[in-house]
Amino acid sequence: MLQNHPIIILEQMNAEELSFIEKKIKREQSLFFRTMRNLSFLCFIIPTIVAILFFTNDQKSMQHLNEEMTEPFTIYTYIISLLSLLTLLLGGGFLGYGRTLKRLKMDLKEKNKIIEPAVITRKYFMEINKCYYLYLKSKTKLSIEVTEQDYNQYFEGDEINLEYSRYAKEYFGYF
């Protein structure tokens, strides 16, 4: 039976799991750089459009804005807004990199996976899509999809072992 503090085992990843992590890194890296490129483009475009609107406006159409503004739009305002958006972009990029790519690369470098025992708390069959689920008492997974054979083999209270990567917590399977 599962103890209060489950014993977590570190084991070397096999070639299939390493390949999965490598493919995941390539997909995530592509998505990350594409997102950063598009957001950096917007960080330059938005302040530039605002600056062009303020510098090329005719006095009649922008008169109400000029009356409400205490100081006019200057190049310093443009630079401050540009730097503010770039700071937000870099901060978000740094956090995004740390939450996904950095963890995946650490997993690939160390090549370790975690094997965690988990107790089955509930079994569930979803009739709509004919899938079988086991709900678990685990730190990383709430439920897993299983085959019909495993669904019939395991019962509530049984213990199974989950395999996942150490840092990114990418799920590999169960046994």
Contact 132, 125 (CB under 8 A): yes
pLDDT digits (tens, 9 = 90+) for 125-167: 999 999 999 999 998 899 999 999 999 999 999 999 999 999 9
The pLDDT assigned to 50 comes to: 77
Q: Which two tokens stand for residue 95?
A: 């956090």
Mean residue pLDDT across the chain? 87
**Rounded distance between C-alpha atoms, residue 119 and residue 83, angstroms:** 51
* Cβ neighbours, 10 Å, residue 65: 12
3-state helix/strand/coil string of 5-69? CCCCEEEECCHHHHHHHHHHHHHHHHHHHHHHHHHHHHHHHHHHHHHHHHHCCCCCCCHHHHHHC
DSSP 71: S
Over residues 82-105, the pLDDT tens digits come to 888 889 999 999 999 999 999 999
Residue ranges per domain, the chain?
Answer: 13-107, 111-174
Residue 56: C-alpha distances to residues 12, 116, 155 (Å): 63, 64, 72
